[in-house]
Amino acid sequence: MPVHRLRPVRLLLAALVATLLAAVSLPASAADTPARGSAYMGIGVLAHDGQNGTPRDTRATQTEGVDVSGHQGNVAWSTLWSSGVKWAYVKATEGTYYTNPYFAQQYNGSYNVGMIRGSYHFATPDTTGGATQADYFVDHGGGWSKDGRTLPGALDIEWNPYGASCYGKTQSGMVTWIRDFLNRYKARTGRDAVIYTATSWWTECTGNYAGFATANPLWIARYASTVGTLPAGWGYYTMWQYTSSGPTVGDHDKFNGALDRVQALANG
């Protein structure tokens, strides 16, 4: 083959080799970073806290629930209802750049089968302020109405799947961000938002701050037979995400009370 015809082939091969080498040398942390918007409630629980069983049967009355995001796509709500699930939370937003494309099917679908449902916001404190994200949440599915079937919005504040666990904030800076979100959410809706978190993250990233416990219900994340130690200030949990491997939908939760207590939270 003439030399002038070989040169393009060699250039192509060189480019392919360079691309392969770049892919191989990509740092693991960068290669494992999920796409913005793909986070979901409990995304960091297994990696940071592990899984140690499921809740034991007790005499305490609890009500089964689920939480879903765009990760689940269209959800089989009738199947969940038949299995005993009576309440649900649906991811509405993340940061100020993402809305769940399956939100309508999930939020309305859970309601239509009879569930009490609410929506949640995945916080990204490194992108915009707390008040700004609260506004985005309320404006894109995070509102509340006293219809007896709508739970107050939940702030999902946990490990950062896109970078440093505490989003580059100091403990006091994180507390301020959370306070800004909660204050704006209440100003917009009249309700105190639920706080979803894990004790280990809360301790590391807020210094185990106790100041929100009097007003904001706690939704604790722990995949074990008991909830373990709760964050400072909270003497009990309102909701408990206890597994990411349940039937139909992986993320299952228990409400700390009978169905009438779920209704009471919905009514405010």
What are the pLDDT digits (tens) for 30-60? 558 899 988 887 888 777 767 666 666 665 6
The whole-number pLDDT of residue 104 equals 98
Report yes or no: 32 and 203 within 8 Å, Cβ to Cβ. no
- Three-state secondary-structure class, residue 233: coil
Length of the chain: 268
The whole-number pLDDT of residue 6 equals 40
The whole-number pLDDT of residue 58 equals 61
The whole-number pLDDT of residue 28 equals 36
The whole-number pLDDT of residue 8 equals 46
The whole-number pLDDT of residue 42 equals 81
Measured CA to CA in angstroms, residue 198 lies from 44, 49, 101, 206, 208 at distances of 9, 9, 27, 11, 11
- Residue numbers in the chain where pLDDT is lower than 70: 1-31, 49, 51-60
The whole-number pLDDT of residue 41 equals 79
Single pTM value for the model: 0.86
H helices present in 83-128, as ranges? 103-112
Which positions are annotated as active-site residues? 67, 156, 158
- Three-state secondary-structure class, residue 64: strand
What is the rounded CA–CA span in Å between residue 178 and residue 163?
19
